[in-house]
């Protein structure tokens, strides 16, 4: 009797092992599979996925919209001054085909800056630059010579945007900056990517890297070219 019991247990173990290995699947027996290879076949354009970490929220939204859409999308930068436009032009010329982007003038665009100055001397200006560098803040040369000696911590299209930027800078330790409307008569520009397709999507992070505010937004249909 004991011998029969042992053989029955051995047989049951063999059956269970075969069931677990899927040897009995042909007979409709076996554990439920935990893999779903059919999902790989259902993926839609996985190559279009673009990493968007370390990108400003507005740009992340633009990248997501471009990736999700099967058609092309138009993207544009904020307003650029002449020096910024020159930097962008030099960077993009070897990077993108000439038909993929335009750097058009913006007529009558407002320009607001977060301003620090005027300083009494060049020595005070140098000292302030060192302080900003220690806070890991970026500053830009002024377009309007009437504001020299001083510094710009960013240029914006509206007073509201400039004040929001000032609030963010204040949280990082900036105490003496103000918001000013730049009355400079210098020409302003805007970068446009009129037809961002699948191929161009992969180059958007490199494009944004050369922009002062590192961002792109969907083009406004009513906005000046």
Q: How many CB atoms lie within 10 A of CB 13?
A: 10
Instruction: State whether 128 and 173 are in the same domain.
Output: yes
Q: Are residues 117 and 177 in the same domain?
A: yes
Residue 32 lies in a domain: no
Same domain, 176 and 133: yes
Are 133 and 168 contained in the same domain? yes
73 and 102 both lie in a single domain: yes
What pairs with residue 109 in β-bridges?
none
Residue 131 resides in a domain: yes
Q: Does residue 159 fall inside a structural domain?
A: yes
**Percent of the chain predicted with pLDDT > 70:** 68
Spatial contact of 106 and 189, defined as CB atoms under 8 Å apart: yes
- Indicate whether 96 and 206 sit together in one domain: yes
Stretch among 8-17, 29-38, 81-90, 180-189 having the lowest mean pLDDT = 29-38
* Residue 121 included in any domain: yes
Does one domain contain both 91 and 199? Answer: yes
Contact 82, 91 (CB under 8 A): no
Domain count, the chain: 2
> Is a pLDDT exceeding 60 seen at residue 206?
yes
Per-residue b or e along 213-223, where b marks 16 or more CB atoms closer than 10 Å to that residue's CB: bbbbeebeeee
Could you say which DSSP state residue 147 is in? G
89 vs 44, higher pLDDT:
89
User: Are 120 and 93 contained in the same domain?
Assistant: no
In a domain, 1, yes or no: no
Residue 215 clears pLDDT 70, i.e. is over it: yes
Which range is least confidently modeled, 35-49, 131-145, 177-191? 35-49
| Per-residue confidence (pLDDT) for residue 6, from 0 to 100 | 64
Q: Please report whether residue 200 resides in a domain.
A: yes
Task: List the domain range (segments joined by +) for residue 159.
Answer: 112-181
Residues 77 and 137 in one domain: no
C-beta separation of 132 from 151 below 8 A? yes
Residue 16 within any structural domain of the chain: no
190 and 98, same domain (yes or no): yes
pLDDT band at 224 (very low <50, low <70, confident <90, very high): very low
**How far apart, in whole angstroms, are the C-alpha atoms of residue 207 and residue 143?**
23
* DSSP state for residue 221 in the 8-state scheme: T
Confidence of residue 71 (pLDDT cuts 50, 70, 90): confident
**Using an 8 Å Cβ cutoff, are 87 and 142 in contact?**
no
Backbone angles phi, psi at 115, to 5 degrees: -115, 145
Element (H, E) at 11: helix 2-21
The residue that leads in pLDDT, 8 or 123, is 123
The answer, yes or no, to whether residue 223 has pLDDT greater than 50, is no
Angle at CA of residue 33, ends 32 and 38, nearest 5°:
135
More reliable by pLDDT, 150 or 33? 150
User: Is residue 169 pLDDT above 70, yes or no?
Assistant: yes
Q: Are residues 117 and 148 in the same domain?
A: yes
- How far is CA 11 from its chain centroid? 62
How does the average pLDDT of the chain come out, rounded?
78
The C-alpha atoms of residue 33 and residue 130 are separated, in whole angstroms, by 63
pLDDT at site 31: 61
Question: pLDDT (tens digit, 9 = 90+) per residue, 84-134?
Answer: 899 999 999 999 999 999 999 887 667 889 999 999 999 999 999 999 999
Q: Give mean pLDDT, residues 180-190.
A: 78
For residue 83, what is the domain's CATH number?
3.30.70
- Contact of 157 with 78, CB cutoff 8 Å: yes
The answer on 143 and 123 residing in a single domain is yes
Q: Is residue 2 part of a domain?
A: no
């Amino acid at each position: 009797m004991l011998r029969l019991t042992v053989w029955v247990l051995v047989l049951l173990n063999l059956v269970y092992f075969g069931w677990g290995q899927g040897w009995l699947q042909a007979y409709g027996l076996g554990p439920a599979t935990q893999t779903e290879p059919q999902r790989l076949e259902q993926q839609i354009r996985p190559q279009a996925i673009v990493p968007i970490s370390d990108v400003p929220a507005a740009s992340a939204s633009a990248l997501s919209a471009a990736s999700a859409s099967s058609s092309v999308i138009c993207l544009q930068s904020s307003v650029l001054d002449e020096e910024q436009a020159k930097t962008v032009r030099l960077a993009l010329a070897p990077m993108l085909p000439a038909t993929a982007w335009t750097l058009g003038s913006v007529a009558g665009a407002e320009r607001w800056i977060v301003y620090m100055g005027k300083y009494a001397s060049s020595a005070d200006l140098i000292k302030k630059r060192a302080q900003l560098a220690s806070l890991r803040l970026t500053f830009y040369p002024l377009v309007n010579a009437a504001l020299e000696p001083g510094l710009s911590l960013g240029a914006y299209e509206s007073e509201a945007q400039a004040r929001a930027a000032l609030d963010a800078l204040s949280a990082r330790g900036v105490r003496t900056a103000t918001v000013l409307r730049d009355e400079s008569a210098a020409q302003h520009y805007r970068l446009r990517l009129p037809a961002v397709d699948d191929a161009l999507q992969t180059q958007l992070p490199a494009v944004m890297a050369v922009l002062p505010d590192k961002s792109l937004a969907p083009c406004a249909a009513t906005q000046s070219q």
